[in-house]
Structure 1
Amino acid sequence: MRSSRRRPLLVPVLLCALALLAARPTDGTDADGGSGTALGPQVARLYQDAATATRQYEDGRRAAETQRAKALEYERLLDAQRQKTDAMREDLGRIARAQYRDGGGLPLTARMLLAENPDELMRGQRAVSRANQAVDRAIGENLRAETRLAADEAKAEAAWQALDKRNAELARLKKKIEGKLEAARSRLEGQADSSVAAGSCPGAVRLDQPDLPAGPAWVAPVETYELSASFGSGGSRWANLHTGQDFAVPVGTPVRSVGAGRVLKVSCGGAFGIHVVIQHAGGYYTQYAHLAAVAVDQGDRVEAGQWIGQSGTTGNSTGPHLHFEVRVTPEMGSALDPVPWLSEHGVPLR
């Protein structure tokens, strides 16, 4: 179980994240105000900013839910403690009423003179006194418990309200970034379509690479995705059966090399639009098609997880997605089903 002492750090952490995101240049334009070759990297940065804002918002939302649950639990315990105290006070009232009915309104000396058995009266008096003291102590303890619970409830409520406020700020920032990302994606898509239509393949635009994960020799071609058209499926847009696996992702999504290798070909035009073919050890080749931009040149060496381009909808495409193929030759006609191939290489697709 995590220590509760660390939870208060979440608010300053969210504030730092908010400040960092707000400081990022997310206006989707070049440093000089243009929208030329730097558009791809800007989309990639916005993509990362949106992902970071989403992650921070979800973390903050879960933390706020936890704090709100704690506040409600303290409120429930406080209500129970108050009911217990009220019951104690009622017990004390019953004792006082019983004393009065048994002659408690008379002075003790008078009651001893009138009593048939003074010793028994004294024993009863001591028992009543002890009962009074016990109830008084219990009420005092309950009142102190109420004070502690009320303080805990107030702290949890304050933490929840602070997190809720930060989450609202993160939500506004997230919406702003996503709006700019959508506009930049649209411009990137238009730029890619214009290049393909003109028959000129856009050159590589180098992206700020993420920190590559240590260890994995193979990764999925995109980090977050939904699987769409599968290998071997039929469709009116293909002359034969589908030769790859499609990953439904928005325009501008960073596309990764699934493994280490060498860029064999960067091309554009035709059914695949802008696409990249990478040669891997073991006689395998992977293709990444319908791109909006490329980040590598022919002959480049790449590592597993390295960004090689950005997804798009160029070529024979009905919408934004990545068409991914695994082949045993560089050319069409030798494709394997990518899903079991990736699974065999330690990358099960979900």
Structure 2
Amino acid sequence: MRSPRRSPLHVPVFLCAVALLLARPAAADGGSGGGEADSGVSARVVRLYEDAAAATQRYEAVHREAEKQLARARRSQRLLAREQKRIAGLHDDLGRIARAQYRQVGGVPYAAQIILADSPEELMRSQHVFSQANLAVETMAAKSRRAESRLAEDQARSSALWRDLEKRNRKLAGMKKAIQAKLDEARRVLQKQADASAAAGTCRSAVHLDEASPKTGRPWVAPVRDYRLSAPFGSGGTHWANRHTGQDFAVPIGTPVRAVGAGKVVKVTCGGAFGMEVVIEHPGGYCTQYAHLAAVTVNQGDRVATGQWIAQSGTTGNSTGPHLHFEVRVTPQLGSGIDPVPWLTARGVKL
């Protein structure tokens, strides 16, 4: 079993169609109105999730480019250091040649060398050797100087680009922070409405959003896309009468909750230990429960497809923090639960 730790700002692809959403209040099980307000807040949360995800993607793209530029700058520095070392070696060689020349001729002026040479051929050979050696060293030194100049220019360009990328990073980080603040406020409003519904024991009207038909390509999916597995099935704790009856998915308030498979909504209720909850019956007799919700997007009796958005996560009912409580049952009622992880695994869903 894996426990993915993914960024809570990533939004499922199918939610892109939410930009065309239209609120359609519909009476829920024991509904009492308020659908239009709920729809506005729910839609706002989703749009902010999308904005935050887009800002995060832009930030990460710029950050990756900055890292590449930093790596190039560091490579340039290493090349420059090696080139400087090679130039220093060439300068040492040039000094040794000069000293060797001085020792061989004893510092005698060129005119005296002509007079003292045993033969013109010997003098020419000696001067030719020295001239060739000097020319080779000077050529190599000139090449090294040009290379050093180019590397210095590359380093300056890389440093300038790095500073620019850092500036853009700071700007994008500010954008993310501003979006996060708006998202947190929208989540608080959404949860406040959900708490009021749970306290009253009646669900507000379902928040219906026009969205494209889900195209998962699979018969079964996980109930949320971005999550951390928390309390497992059968675990003990003071919050449960006996043992934990489901698998918890730690997600922020407002996270879209999906139907794990096609089926019929047989229960939508508010209040009690589970707070706002949805129960779906699937072909073959199994039922799945989604609890501690902040908003629902379906009504009792609705038919749902695999991956369809049915709710938004929250922390209503007997909950210590934002998460989705997910159960698999052999009947719609509490007390018939089985471990959801192997059940989903057997259907090709790896958590």
Letter in 1 for 2:187: R
Distance 2:69 2:306 in 1: 40
* 2:301 is the alignment partner of 1:299: yes
Match of 1:319 among 321, 324, 329: 321
Letter in 1 for 2:294: A
Residue deviations 1:178-227 (CA, integer Å, cap 9, x gap): 11111111111111111122232111213465895643332221122222
Are residues 150 and 101 of structure 1, via their aligned partners in 2, closer, same or farther at CA, if it must alter by over 3 Å?
same
Distance 1:176 1:243 in 2: 38
Distance 1:237 1:312 in 2: 17
Deviation at 1:256, TM superposition (A): 1.5
Q: RMSD value over aligned CA atoms?
A: 2.4
Task: Quote the residue 1:341 is aligned against.
Answer: 343
TM-score (norm 1): 0.82
* 2:185 is the alignment partner of 1:168: no
Are residues 154 and 289 of structure 1, via their aligned partners in 2, closer, same or farther at CA, if it must alter by over 3 Å?
same
Distance 1:52 1:284 in 2: 37
Letter in 2 for 1:50: A
CA contact (8 A) 2:42 2:295 kept: yes
Distance 2:49 2:347 in 1: 28
Are residues 150 and 174 of structure 1, via their aligned partners in 2, closer, same or farther at CA, if it must alter by over 3 Å?
same
Identity rate, percent: 59
Distance 1:153 1:296 in 2: 59
Deviation at 1:80, TM superposition (A): 2.0
Distance 2:285 2:121 in 1: 107
Distance 2:316 2:143 in 1: 74
Residue deviations 1:87-107 (CA, integer Å, cap 9, x gap): 223322332333233337555
Distance 2:144 2:100 in 1: 24
Question: 5+ residue gaps in structure 1?
Answer: 1-23, 25-33
Which runs of structure 1 show a deviation greater than 6 angstroms over 4 or more consecutive aligned residues?
none
Taking the TM superposition and a 5 Å limit, the aligned residue runs for 1:80-159 are: 80-103=82-105, 106=108, 108-159=110-161
Distance 1:189 1:35 in 2: 13
Distance 1:138 1:259 in 2: 73
Task: Quote the residue 2:27 is aligned against.
Answer: none
Task: Quote the residue 1:189 is aligned against.
Answer: 191
Aligned length: 317
Letter in 2 for 1:278: I
Are residues 210 and 62 of structure 1, via their aligned partners in 2, closer, same or farther at CA, if it must alter by over 3 Å?
farther
Task: Quote the residue 1:16 is aligned against.
Answer: none
Task: Quote the residue 1:262 is aligned against.
Answer: 264
Task: Quote the residue 1:281 is aligned against.
Answer: 283
Task: Quote the residue 1:204 is aligned against.
Answer: 206
TM-score (norm 2): 0.82
Distance 1:183 1:54 in 2: 19
Question: 5+ residue gaps in structure 2?
Answer: 1-18, 20-35
Match of 1:253 among 250, 255, 271: 255
Distance 2:156 2:211 in 1: 45
Distance 2:188 2:91 in 1: 71
Distance 2:62 2:214 in 1: 26
Distance 1:330 1:69 in 2: 57
